[in-house]
A and B are shown apart, each in its own frame.
Chain A
Amino acid sequence: EPEVTQTPSHQVTQMGQEVILRCVPISNHLYFYWYRQILGQKVEFLVSFYNNEISEKSEIFDDQFSVERPDGSNFTLKIRSTKLEDSAMYFCASSEARAVGTQYFGPGTRLLVL
């Protein structure tokens, strides 16, 4: 069964550093998403991406965040200057269609900012 993969599985960084989280969506999917989940809290939508541009973003997705699809397979989330409160699990998801029910989630990257 095709799956979404994410690297790294864990990332530890110092406050103020830049991090790039990587995702390989399912190959025939057209819509891509990033979510985060702070430990013990709910899953929060960050951004959706379609046709090489952001289609929707939440209020969490401020100027320190950016997304990119640098080639035909990878989908990245960059956090420019990490803060302590960015520590969370970051999930990538992809879908053939827009509706969230068809989204397949990756296993997540656990980010710890010290």
Chain B
Amino acid sequence: RKEVEQDPGPFNVPEGATVAFNCTYSNSASQSFFWYRQDCRKEPKLLMSVYSSGNEDGRFTAQLNRASQYISLLIRDSKLSDSATYLCVVNWVSGGSYIPTFGRGTSLIVHP
């Protein structure tokens, strides 16, 4: 069974804080990894891809640990507008097709 697990939170942090989320996946044959952001009752939007070497986009840093089968997202200097649910997405390849599996998401609330 292919599972993607996330701590649902909520993570309640003050503005300016640094917060980190982890996501674990069950299938070692997973091919690609992403973090999406979903605002309440809205569609998921790609935040960033996750590479083995780690990658950074402004205040956001993503890491992949294939050996331990987890990915992480670090948000520095949190803003009120960062409040959302962060979805971990893992792609498996089956028969030449990508099968995307979403985690349930981690809720972040940034307060003044």
Chain A residues close to B by CB (< 8 Å): 33, 41-45, 48, 55-56, 58, 89, 91, 98-103, 105-108
Pair B102/A101 contact, Cβ less than 8 Å: no
How many inter-chain contacts with C-beta < 8 Å in the A-B complex? 56
Majority secondary structure, B binding face = strand
- Residues on A with beta carbons closer than 8 Å to the beta carbon of B98: 48, 56, 98-100
**Chain B interface residue count, Cβ-Cβ cutoff 8 angstroms:** 25
Pair B46/A56 contact, Cβ less than 8 Å: no
A101 to B87, CA, bound (A): 12
Chain B residues close to A by CB (< 8 Å): 32, 34, 38, 41-46, 49, 87, 89, 91, 94-105
Residue of B nearest to A4 (CB): B43
Majority secondary structure, A binding face = mixed
Residue of B nearest to A43 (CB): B102
Min C-beta distance of A109 to chain B, whole Å = 11
Interface centre among A99, A101, A108 (most CB of B within 10 A): A101
- Residues on A with beta carbons closer than 8 Å to the beta carbon of B89: 100-101
